[in-house]
A and B are shown apart, each in its own frame.
Chain A
Amino acid sequence: MIRIENVTKLYGPKVAVQDLSLHVPAGELFAFLGPNGAGKTTTIKMLCGLLFPTTGSVSIGGFDVRAEGDHARALVSYVPDQPFLYEKLTGREFLQFTADLYAMPTDRSAEKIEEVIELFHLDEFVDDLTERYSHGMRQRTVFAAALVHEPKLLIADEPTVGLDPKSIRELKTLLRKLASDGTTIFLSTHTLDIAQELADRIGILDRGKLLGCGNMTDLRKQANQDGSLEDLFMKITEETSAEVPV
């Protein structure tokens, strides 16, 4: 579903992502980890077509993001860390707008809208204007909108921020279910427990380079150490820091 081939992204003289290659097959839940400024958000923005690689290529579902961006983006849903909603639309109107934007047939969209309203427990406020929503309500609405058009790839940047424990639990269950139903999930998070619990594979990025990628067993082998994901993450990123000349 995701093919990132030798991608480098420069911000002026600064290298944000360096020679990154990554393949994520359909139906996989992939967690992307890294310290602040590692290049995670830049990579996500390239997957969404918001930014373009300086060199290399990114394709989604076989569509090159630069050359066939409209088709590629039709397969993707992106839940950013700072969700956007039209303040003067109700939650339901926003869901309808999203479904229409992705060209869903009317009867199917009506069905899906009701489904996501129930799934994310939006029924109490879905007909209010979104300007009155709390952060958690906004986050749930954005997630509902991200799923309403049945994307092939769901990209989420820190999806649990602002959610209460019950919603986090439900979200985790949902993400696993979506992956098992064939949706590819690309998750960027600092919450290592969630990554360890949910992900099929984990990628660790630091200073724009992919330092490690694989399941827990692969990462343990690479770090030459047993332990939790937190231990492995610290070991892998600290080793690289030590290698970088000051």
Chain B
Amino acid sequence: MGAELPAVADQGALFRRLRSRLFRNGLRVAMENGLARLLTMIATSAVVAAFTFAVSLYLFNQLATNNITLKGGIVEALFDILFFTLGTMLIFSTGIILYASLFTSPEARFLLCSPARADQIFAMKFQAAVLFSSWGFVILGVPIFVAYGIMSGVPWYFYPLLPLYLFGYVLLPGSVSAAGCILLVRYMPRNRKQFFAFVGLVLALVLLFWAYRIAITFKRSIITSGRELDDLIGQFDLMRSGVAPSHWMTRGVMAAARGDFEAALLPLAQVWSNGLLFYLFAAFIAKRVYRTAYDRISAFGRGKKIYKTSPLDRLMESLVFYLDKRTRVLVVKDFRTFRRDPTQWAVLAIFGGLMMLGASNFRQYYSADLGVMDKYAISLMNLSGTAILLCAGLSRFIFPLISLEGRKFWILGLTPLSRDQILWGKFAFAATGSLLIAETLILTSDVLLTLPVEGLLLHAVAVAVIAIGLSALNVGLGAYLPTFRETDPSKIVVGFGGTVNMVVGLAFLVAVIGTMVVPFHVAQLAQRATQGAVKINPWVYAGMPVGLIVGALAIVLPLRSGARSLREMEF
């Protein structure tokens, strides 16, 4: 034992002061360096919130028009699904951010060498991770429920209770995710490949089985429009049971909407108390095993692990065969960096899972009676959904590419490659991958839906414009608005440049789909609704050149601005 015990600081208060100081200084710098940037970020968030609000208002209005009680069982089931989905997304996103900030960040290393307690370091990192992963949840959640409140005529206290519910809810999935993340790092078996393969297989089987059951029930319900709707909702029993936090949220929000104040408070207490309890549990785990987990992960893979070229690298190189050798080398470098970073490909796995789920639905729609749900409506939904996922995926993976070169940018700067080639390499990487994935998904689903040739061609062209345009936007804006100081891609995405990029990308999607695809689908729907009385007018294709021009602008303008910015960059 040491002779004299060193003094101990009130670390909770100390880290609170640190966060507050960092926030104030950051805000001051943002105000000094460019008020326009800050305002644009606030404005773009407001645009996203306003758009969500408008769409929600329209959808709730449609429900009301169709005599569906807004305070009844169907809306309750929809809220259950919404909260469950958002909670699941929060588990993954918080876990990925926490993994990066607890185990790979220089700050974690600095604090672990100091007398800072493991649970205090965890608490600070946890709060930042939850903040980063849940701002979207709050920005999207608040407008949806405000729209719901307006449409269903709720009492005044519904609105102040809303943020209490939403903020309380992010604690629970965040804490579960944090505890899982630390325990996984600490106790993961040595053979990680086998472990991941096993877990992946089990998850895939469970998901497939669940998706199959939902699809079967859904098929029955759209054919008969009968009592089977209950069966469909019954597939989500788990998320609607009394032990599911998503259901506590629904119960509370619905009770507040119905004006039952007391019944609204109990679920709120459940959400907060369980959230805080799980947070304490996660902090306890951090206190016990965070340091040993850090030791374990630092020792992992530093032995005789030999990184070789993978067949995947060769595949990537062959996909960009049209580039010169030196640019191909850059593309393979980006791809290799990506596939070796678990925090990157874990997010891709989530996106991939969502796309697969969509694809399996395409198949089920095909098997179902399409007289009830028109194939043109479904194919338009497929295309829009894939485009939105593509937009989110490219924002997450491609936009941060230039920023992630970070302080090592001088290495690229000194290579015999021109800066334009660097940009073109990243653009080729993004466009090739996204084009392949999106075209495969859309054309497969369209063929299954027996869409006519003109529909297939239209979709193929529109998807090409979307994939290439979004790739150019992400690469160009990524170079124009880089964040070199940040090493965590998820934080680059939610920064100023990332937010602007996301909003511009969504606007681009609306413009392209609206001009190129929607007129054709509306005409087809009108024709079917009137049983052929309305003829298809060739003018439905008039939007094609407009969409192509928008696509060309989306390629040329951001890439030109990005290239100029990159050429002028000093290192």
- Report A's interface with B, CB cutoff 8 A: 9-14, 16, 45, 48-52, 61-63, 68-76, 78, 80, 82, 84, 86-90, 93, 97-98, 100-104, 129, 131
Contact = CB atoms under 8 A, between A and B. Distances in A.
Given A73-B113, A101-B115, A12 B304 contact: yes
Given A52-B292, A70-B117, A97-B18, A13 B303 contact: yes
Instruction: Please tell me the size bucket of the interface on B.
Output: 35 or more
Contact of A88 (B6, B7, B25, B112): B25
Q: For B1, B11, B190, which residue has the most chain A Cβ atoms within 10 angstroms? A: B1
Given A63-B2, A88-B29, 5 more contacts: A11-B300, A12-B305, A14-B302, A89-B22, A93-B25
A61 B302 contact: no
Nearest to B14: A100
Interface stretch (B102-110, B206-214, B495-503, B555-563): B102-110
B5 interface: yes
B113 A78 contact: yes
Contact of B115 (A87, A97, A102): A102
B538 interface: no
B21 A89 contact: yes
Interface in B74-118: 106-107, 109-110, 112-117
A104 B14 CA distance: 12
A51 B115 CA distance: 14
CB-based closest 3 A-B pairs: A12-B303, A74-B6, A62-B2
Interface of B: 1-3, 5-9, 11, 14, 17-18, 21-22, 25-26, 29, 106-107, 109-110, 112-117, 190, 291-292, 294-295, 298-305, 485
A70 B119 CA distance: 12
B109 A70 contact: no
A5 to B, nearest CB: 16
A88 B22 contact: yes
A50 B112 CA distance: 6
Contacts of B17: 100
Contacts of A71: 2, 5-6, 115
Contacts of B109: 50, 80, 84
A49 B485 contact: no
A101 B26 contact: no
A73 B14 CA distance: 17
A63 B1 CA distance: 5
A7 to B, nearest CB: 13
Nearest to A11: B302
Given A73-B113, A84-B106, A84-B107, A12 B300 contact: yes
B25 A51 contact: no
Given A50-B112, A100-B14, A62 B21 contact: no
Contact of A93 (B8, B21, B26): B21
B299 A11 contact: yes
B565 to A, nearest CB: 20
A164 B437 CA distance: 53
Given A75-B6, A89-B22, A93-B21, A51 B299 contact: yes
Contacts of A52: 291-292, 295
B304 A70 contact: no
23 contacts: A10-B299, A11-B299, A13-B303, A13-B304, A50-B109, A50-B294, A51-B295, A51-B299, A73-B114, A73-B115, A74-B8, A78-B113, A80-B113, A84-B107, A84-B110, A86-B22, A88-B22, A88-B25, A100-B17, A102-B7, A103-B9, A103-B115, A104-B7
A12 B190 CA distance: 9
B71 to A, nearest CB: 47
B301 A49 contact: no
A103 B305 CA distance: 42
Nearest to B190: A12
B32 to A, nearest CB: 10
Contacts of B295: 50-52
A101 B14 contact: yes
